[in-house]
Amino acid sequence: MILNMTFKSFLYKSCFLVVLFLSTSLSAQNKKIRVLFVGNSFTYYNNLPQVVAAMAKSQDIIIETKHSTVGGSSLENHWKSERGTQTRVMLELEKWDFVVFNNHSLSAINKPSDFMEYGKKFADLVRSKGAEPIFMMTWAYKSNPLMLPEIERMYKLLCDQVKADFIPGGPLFASSINYRPDLELFHDDIHPSPNGTYLLGLAFFKYFTGKNVNPIPTNISTLDTNGQILYLIFMNDLDANFLRQLVNEFSFKTLTLKTEQVISPKK
């Protein structure tokens, strides 16, 4: 009798755990994440936020993105609401899960104290709003690859001090150039080409989902306000395959343990 009751108790507990797991899984499937991209032309060239959202949607994953970007702006400008920036307003009025920051391309080198000060201020502000800060490590100018070590050092120092993650944009650019110097990542001396933005988009997809990027399409599209296809980036198969392999094999921290927040919409 005691054995039978013990078995029944075990069975009831097992059924409860199964129901709880299924309930949690189904609940997670109705979630999405909202990401605000804050920065300058490094972000808005080729519509990086929309590219990230479109890459996710191609895999039935919901990442809703917006951006607060002004050409040539620094995080100091965004903090002080200078040059027409609206970042502080957007952080106050809307709910975000993650906020991605990129500073002025030379800020880590020419103004390291300001780089640290405003990076820390925004990290604290974002967390006070219930979101998590992420920093997009920028890249060296095409004409001066020697910029990268100091950029990388400063972003790692900042992220270590504020306990935030970073997307290794600069190191990914450098690695791609090392393996494929023929693959043009720059529109000019500083801004990303469509190839460069495709590479960054893959890195963000990997970061937010922890997933292999091989299924990401070669050409990236979204829908315009009329519901018609709007193409964001055209790639050729060989270059897209190379960049996907590069991102898959490049080691950097992702949100793998939190992927239950990034889910498939209902069919």
What pairs with residue 222 in β-bridges?
A: 230
Question: Which one, of 130, 106, 102, 129, lies nearest residue 118 by Cα?
Answer: 102
Q: Report residue 236 as tokens.
A: 């050729």
pLDDT at 249: 98
| Residue spans of alpha helices (H) in 94-219 | 107-110, 112-128, 148-162, 169-179, 194-209
If you write DSSP's letter for every residue of 138-174 in order, what string do you get? ----TT-GGGHHHHHHHHHHHHHHHT-EEE-HHHHHH
3 state SS of 21: helix
pLDDT at 127: 98
For the chain (267 residues), the mean pLDDT of every run of 10, in chain order, is 48 43 36 94 97 97 97 97 96 97 97 98 98 98 98 98 98 98 98 98 97 98 93 97 98 72 42
What pTM, to 2 d.p., does this model score?
Answer: 0.86
pLDDT at 14: 46
* DSSP H or E segment with residue 60: none
pLDDT at 257: 47
Residue 106: exposed, middle, or buried by beta-carbon count in 10 A (0-12, 13-18, 19+)? Answer: middle
How far is Cα 168 from Cα 87, in angstroms, rounded to an integer?
23
